[in-house]
């Protein structure tokens, strides 16, 4: 695997049919979906533009994920909001394991680091609070 112009080029040659290149955005999407699948993750944190695009109906699966292609290998930073009451170290470990496994299964790429950044804690949602108030 080598990096050329922000594209990962796979070293495997499949019967001389050609080469396989994977864009970093693909890795971001795979990692974002894998992180969102874990119970205890409330949401992924993106930038302002991603939030506006999502409100307009465009789902950004790579939101909250930063991929760094360096000489040392692939480094992934995940920025997420956890649900109040979960074990953060346990959920973070599950996120790391799920991302590593998803990337290995889908791209055959080994990741050097998966760094989890907890940027917030989500308490009970407003809809749950209103439902409780209406029941009383």
Mean pLDDT of the chain: 80
Distances (CA, A) of 97 to 13, 94, 111, 113: 28, 5, 11, 11
- pLDDT given at position 85: 94
- Output the pTM of the full model: 0.74
Q: Is residue 42 within 8 Å of residue 82, measured between CB atoms?
A: yes
Cα angle: 6, vertex 75, 120; to 5 degrees: 115
pLDDT at 102 over 80: yes
Among 1-10, 62-71, 75-84, the least confident range:
1-10
């Amino acid at each position: 695997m080598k990096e050329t112009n922000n594209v990962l080029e796979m070293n495997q040659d499949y019967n001389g049919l050609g080469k396989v290149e994977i864009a970093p955005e693909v890795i971001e999407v795979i990692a974002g979906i894998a992180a969102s699948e874990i119970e205890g993750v409330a949401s992924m944190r993106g930038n302002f533009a991603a939030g506006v695009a999502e409100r307009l109906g465009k789902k950004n699966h790579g939101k909250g994920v930063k991929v760094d292609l360096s000489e040392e290998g692939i480094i992934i930073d995940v920025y997420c909001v956890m649900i109040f009451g979960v074990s953060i170290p346990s959920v973070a470990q599950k996120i790391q394991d799920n991302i590593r496994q998803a990337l290995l299964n889908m791209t055959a790429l080994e990741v050097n680091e998966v760094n989890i950044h907890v940027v917030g804690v989500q308490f009970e949602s407003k809809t749950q609070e209103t439902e409780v108030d209406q029941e009383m």
